[in-house]
Amino acid sequence: MSDLRTKTAVVTGAGSGIGRAVAVELARGGWSLALAGRRVEALEETAALAKDAADVCCVRTDVASQEDVAALFATARERFGHLDLLFNNAGTFGPGGVPLEDLDYDAWRHVVDTNLNGAFLCAQAAFRQMKEQDPQGGRIINNGSISAHVPRPHSVAYTATKHAMTGLTKSLSLDGRPYRIAASQIDIGNAATDMTERMRQGIPQANGQLAVEPVMDVADVARTVRHMAELPLEANVQFATVMATNMPYIGRG
């Protein structure tokens, strides 16, 4: 870390998977954490694992709700004061295997509300606080995806939101320059979590076949996020891709 002050972070989607792994890794570095997610019990399990953190609070949050997001950042501000990091991680795949022409509009809206609108609401709240606080500045790391670059079959909602995440990241980076707000995106491929269990069972490929795909340890993602988070604000990893080495990304399709 660049100074002796305890660093503070808001981690969304912290109740499982990548969010949990990142929270635990930041805790190892002595960060204080506001853990956000829709299931309080899961957040409390993450908090128990993040035993090395300087301080931890759990805030039940639906990132698609303006009221919930406002309450999350108000709680973090009251508890910690300064905000150094938002790991903008909450997301959903939505229904899998549904052809585009059969995708229900409500299912589309749920994915967009969570992955894109939720990411915007959290980024906006973090941006406001980072701009207003003293010392000014902070860092926002958005969880993109390999799907920010290339789609999987029957993934129109997820892919559209992850492509949009790239535009959000770039705009945050540009608009944050005057206020020492750095924005990054980590694009993750096949980290081993409950959400990617289907990779190990066989998942549709662009040629119509099913194939088992390699996965990687989610801890490798978490260490990458921590490295990005602990850089001085004068340095930024703008985009990072962390993926299972042999997954079908290069050459997909």
- How many angstroms separate the CA atoms of 173 and 52, rounded? 31
Which H/E stretch holds residue 68?
A: helix 66-80
Q: Which one is catalytic: 105, 158, 179, 249? A: 158
Of the candidates 175, 157, 145, the residue with the CA atom closest to the CA atom of residue 252: 145
Sign of the alpha-carbon torsion through 41, 25, 225, 183: positive
Say whether 158 is catalytic: yes
- How many angstroms separate the CA atoms of 229 and 1, rounded? 9
| Interhelix angle 17-28/218-229, nearest 10 degrees | 50
Sign of the alpha-carbon torsion through 13, 35, 130, 22: negative
What is the CA 237 to chain-centroid distance, rounded? 15
Per-residue DSSP letter, 113 = I
Exposure on the CB side of residue 245, measured as CA atoms within 13 A: 1
Question: Is the Cβ–Cβ distance between 27 and 33 less than 8 Å?
Answer: yes
- How many angstroms separate the CA atoms of 94 and 236, rounded? 31
- What the block records as the tokens of 44 is 């409390």
**Contacts of residue 115, Cβ cutoff 8 Å, sequence gap at least 6:** 90, 91, 92, 158, 161, 162, 165
Would you please indicate which residues are annotated as catalytic (active-site) residues? 158
